[in-house]
Structure 1
Amino acid sequence: MNIFSLNRKQIKAKPLSTILNIFLFATGVAIISFLFLTTDKIESQLKNNVANIDLVVGAKGSPLQLILAGIYHIDHPTGNIQYKDALELTKNPLVKQAVPLALGDSYHGFRIVGTNQTYPDLYHGQLKEGKPWKSDFEANIGSKVAEKTGLRIGDHFAGVHGFIEEAGHAHDEHEYAVTGIFEETGTVLDQLILTNIESVWKIHEHHHDEHSDPGIGAEEDHDHHHGQADDHSHEHEVGHDHETAEAHAQISGNDEEKEITLLLVKYTNPMGAITLPRLVNSTTNMQAASPALEINRLYSLMGVGVHTIRLIAGFIIIISAFSIFISLLNSLKERKYELALIRSMGGSRNKLFSLIVLEGVTIAFIGYLAGLVLSRLGMLFISYYAETNYHYSLQQWFNLNDVYFLFVSLIIGLLSALIPAIKAMRTDISKTLSE
C-alpha cells in the first residue's frame, strides 16, 4: 500500500478546496518572501553606497533629501552652497577629506557629476579600459552607463540640463569625450558619468546668460541645474584645493563667489561627529547631514510599513492553516469508510496518521513553492522598475530566510493536519464498516 499514491489521489479528488488552500498559503509566503528579498537588497545597496562617508554638506533643507541626492543620486539636491564657505570648511582640522560634487546635467538619464579624481576612490573604482580624465570635456563612465548607452572609448556625447532627456536643454556646442570606463563595482559609481569641474563650468558659463527657459519640466530642477553648473567648477576647485595649502592660495577672489552643490566629508577623528555637524548647522548657511543617522531614520520609516505588511502576511498564513485544518477535518467524514477499509486490509493506525499528515504537509509545501514563484515574479517587476527609473539593480533570487521559512511552512502544514490525523488514527473499524 503506497501512501504517496493515496495522498496524490486524495488531493486531486477535491481540486477546488485544494487550490483554495494552496492559494491562501502561497499568498502569505509570497508576501513575506518578497519583503525579505527587497529589504535585504535595499539595505545592502544603502550600506554599499555610503562608502564610509561621514558627513554630507549642502544647502539647507531636508537632510534626507541631501543624502539621497549626494550619495545615492535618486533625488534633486536641496540647492547650492557658496564656494568660499565650503573652502573654509575644508580648512577645519577635523576634516580629513572633502570630495566635491556638482549635480545637474545628465545623459540618457545618467547623471553627469563634476568632481575630482578622489571620488572614484570612495568606491574602489578601477578603470576597466582607458585612462582617467585630465583635460576639459573628458569623461569617465560607469559600467552600467557603458552597457545601457553603448558608449565606448573615444565616443563623444552631449549632456542635457536636468535628468529627463526630452525636457532638458542639450549642450550640443560642447561634447564630452569618453576616455575611460570603470569596472563594475556594484555601487552608485556604475551609473555615473564623471568629469572635471572646469568642463561643466565652461558649459554653464556659456549657457548661463542665454538660457532663461524653465522648461526642464520643473522650475526647481532648472534652478538647481543652473547653480549646479557653476557648482561643477567650484567643486573641482574645492576638491583640488583641499589637497594642499598652496592650492588654496591660488584661488582668486572671483572664484570664491562661485557655488557648488555639496561636499562629501570624512572626519579626521571621532570628535568630528560631535563637533562638525553642530558647527556647520549653527554657524553657517549650509546644512550638515549624517548618512548613518538619516539612513537609520529611513530604516525606521520603512520598518513600520514592512512590519505591518509582515503581520498581514502572517495572518493570511494562519487563516490558510485553519483552512487546511477544516478541510482535512471535514474530509474525514467522507473518507471514514475508505480509512476503515485501509485498516481492514492491513493498514496500521500509524499508516492512517501518516496519510493525513502527509496531505497537510503536501499542501503546505506546494503553497510554499507557489509563494516563492510569486515572490520572484514580484522581485522581477520591482527590479525592472528600479532599473528603469533609478538605474539601481535590485535583482536577488535567493535569501537564507527562504530556507528557514521552508521548515516553518512544513511545520504549519504538520500542525494543521495533526488533529485530523489523530482522529483518523482512532477510526473504529467495526463500527464504521457495520454502517
Structure 2
Amino acid sequence: MAWRQIRSRPVVTGTTIMIIAVSVALMLSISMASEGIKRGISESSAPYGMIVGSKGSETQLIFNTIFLLDRPLGNVPWDFYEAIKADPRVQAVVPFALGDNFQGYRIVGTDERFFEMRSRPGAPPAFVISQGRRFERPFEAVLGAKTAQDTGLRVGDTFVSSHGTDHHEGLESDEHREMPYTVVGIMRPTHTPVDRGIFVHYESYWRLHEHESAVEHDAIRAAPSDQVADTPHMLSGSDSGDLSHGITAFLVHPKGYVELMQLYQEINASPHAQAVLPGQVLGKIFEQIGFGAEVLGAIAWLVLALAVITVCLTLYQSIEVKRKDFYLMRAIGASRLHVFFVVALEAVWLFFLGELFGWALSYVVYAFLAYGIGERLSIAMPFFFDAGAAWKLALLLIGGLVVAVITAFLTYRTQLDSALRMEAS
C-alpha cells in the first residue's frame, strides 16, 4: 500500500526524491572531493624528497617544482648546488631549471637522474619513456603524455620555446627560432603534473639564454642612444633569471634520515637557499583543504536539513489530500497503527530512494570534478569507496524517519480523530 501510494503521485514523489538526492550528493561529493584531492596530491609528490630552492614561499616552491604551477622564486647559485651535490651525505641530486614554456606547458630543465626518481625505495622508476628515448644532449626534449596529446607533437618534431610560465605572456623571438628543441621521447601517462611537462637537459636553458643575451646586447648597442634607456631586458624577473649562473631548484636524496635532518637545518641556516620537505608543506595545505571541506560540509548538512523539512511538509500535505482514503481504511477494519505504519513506510521509501539516487549522483559529481582537475592540473583523483558515507546515510535515514514519524503521528492524532468524530456525528 505504501509503494502504491508513492507510485500514485509521480510528480510529487519524483520531486521529493530529487530534493533528497541532490542534498545527499552535495554532502557526499564534498567529503569525497576533499579526500580525493589529498590522495591525488600525495600520489603526485611521492617521488620527490627534500627540495632546495631560493629563499621565499615554501608553498610556491613546492607548487612550482612538483605541480608545475605558480612562478619560480628565483635561482640558487650554481656553486651552492655543486657543494650540496658533492656532500658525502647526499646520495643523489636532481636539478630543475624553470621559466620557459611551449603553448603554456612548462619546460623543465633537468638531467638523466630525473628518470630514476621513485615513489619509494625498491619501487620501479616513476617516469618511464613509452616512445623514443631519453634526452642525451641539449635541445632534446621528452614530452609528458598530456603535453604530447594536446600539442600534437611526435618524436622527431621540433618546437620553439617562449619566455615565462604562461602561454599568454610568452614571447617567441627570432633568437629562439635559431635554437629549437627536438622531441626525442614521450613519457608514459603518470596521471600527475609530470604529464603536462616538457623535460630537457638543463644546459639547454643556459645556452638559449646566453645566446639571447648576446643578441639582445648587440641590438641595444646598435639602437639609437635615446632608445636604449627604454629597452626592457628580456631576462629580467623571476621567470627567467640568470640561468647561466644558477638553477631554479634541485631535489636532494640524502643517504639516511640523520643526514636528511642535518642537511635540512644547514641549508635553511645558509643565506643562499631554503630546504623544504614536501610532506610538511602538503600537510599544511591539507589542513586548509580540510577546514574548507568542513565549512562546505556544514552548509551541506544545512541543505540536507531543509530537504528533510521539505519531505515532512510533503507528507503533511499528502495526509491532507488522502484523509478520506485513511478514513475508508479505518472503516473497513484497519487499525490506527496499521494506517500509521503505512505512512511511516512511505516515508522510509522516499528517504531510501532519495539516498540511493544521491549516493549514485555523488559519484557522478565526483567524476566530473576529477575530470576537470585532471585536465587542468593533471592531478589524478582516484575513485574509492567512502566508508564514512555509510554512517552518514544511515544517520540521515534514521533522522529523517524520526522526523517524518513524529510529523505523521501529530498530524493523524489531530486530523484523523477529528475526521472520524465529524463522520460519526
Indicate the TM-score class for this superposition, using the shorter chain for normalisation: 0.7 to 0.9
The answer to whether residue 252 in structure 2 is matched with residue 224 in structure 1 is no
Q: Aligned residue for 1:162? A: 164
Aligned-partner Cα distance in 1 for 2:316–2:378: 51
Are 1:58 and 1:81, in contact at CA under 8 Å, matched by a contact in 2? yes
Aligned residues: 399
Please give the secondary structure, in 2, of the residue aligned with 1:96. strand
Matches of residues 337-416 of structure 1 in structure 2 within 5 Å?
337-345=324-332, 347=334, 351-365=338-352, 367-368=354-355, 371=358, 379=366, 382-383=369-370, 386-387=373-374, 389-392=376-379, 394=381, 399=386, 401-402=388-389, 405-416=392-403
Deviation digits for residues 354-402 of structure 1, max 9, x if unmatched?
4322332343345446655765675566556545643445585975555
Residue 67 to residue 82, structure 1, CA distance change in 2 (3 Å): same
Please give the secondary structure, in 1, of the residue aligned with 2:322. helix
CA apart distance, 1:280? 1.0
Which of these residues, 239, 254, 263, is aligned with residue 276 of structure 1?
263
Are 1:324 and 1:416, in contact at CA under 8 Å, matched by a contact in 2? no
Q: Aligned residue for 2:151? A: 149
Q: Aligned residue for 2:404? A: 417
Which of these residues, 165, 181, 187, is aligned with residue 186 of structure 2?
181
Percent identity (aligned): 28
Please give the secondary structure, in 1, of the residue aligned with 2:94. strand
CA apart distance, 1:167? 2.6
Aligned-partner Cα distance in 2 for 1:293–1:397: 25
CA apart distance, 1:229? 4.3
Q: Aligned residue for 1:105? A: 100
CA apart distance, 1:403? 5.2
Deviation digits for residues 283-335 of structure 1, max 9, x if unmatched?
23211111111111111122222111111211221232233234424543443
Deviation digits for residues 251-296 of structure 1, max 9, x if unmatched?
xxxxxxx200011122321123432222111123211111111111
The answer to whether residue 37 in structure 2 is matched with residue 32 in structure 1 is no
Deviation digits for residues 133-178 of structure 1, max 9, x if unmatched?
1122111111111111111111111111113324312222222111
Aligned-partner Cα distance in 2 for 1:367–1:102: 53
Which of these residues, 404, 414, 434, is aligned with residue 424 of structure 2?
434
Matches of residues 188-227 of structure 1 in structure 2 within 5 Å?
188-211=193-216, 223-227=237-241
Instruction: Please give the TM-score of this superposition, normalised by the length of structure 2.
Output: 0.82
Please give the secondary structure, in 1, of the residue aligned with 2:261. helix
CA apart distance, 1:404? 5.1
Deviation digits for residues 99-148 of structure 1, max 9, x if unmatched?
11111111122111111112133252221121111122111111111111
CA apart distance, 1:423? 5.4
Instruction: Please give the TM-score of this superposition, normalised by the length of structure 1.
Output: 0.80
5+ residue gaps, structure 2, are 119-125, 221-231
Which of these residues, 63, 71, 74, is aligned with residue 69 of structure 2?
74
Q: Aligned residue for 2:60? A: 65
Aligned-partner Cα distance in 1 for 2:254–2:165: 32
Residue 180 to residue 376, structure 1, CA distance change in 2 (3 Å): same
Aligned-partner Cα distance in 1 for 2:9–2:327: 15
5+ residue gaps, structure 1, are 231-257
Letter in 1 for 2:63: L
Aligned-partner Cα distance in 2 for 1:355–1:220: 78
Q: Aligned residue for 2:322? A: 335
Residue 22 to residue 95, structure 1, CA distance change in 2 (3 Å): same
Aligned-partner Cα distance in 2 for 1:167–1:59: 23
CA apart distance, 1:3? 2.8
Residue 211 to residue 339, structure 1, CA distance change in 2 (3 Å): farther
Residue 275 to residue 135, structure 1, CA distance change in 2 (3 Å): closer
Aligned-partner Cα distance in 1 for 2:258–2:382: 39
Q: Which runs of 4+ in 1 moved over 6 A?
A: 218-221
Q: Aligned residue for 2:252? A: 265
Compute the RMSD of aligned alpha carbons: 3.3
Letter in 1 for 2:4: S
Are 1:352 and 1:425, in contact at CA under 8 Å, matched by a contact in 2? no
Are 1:128 and 1:183, in contact at CA under 8 Å, matched by a contact in 2? yes
Of 317-326 and 131-140, the range deviating more from structure 2:
317-326
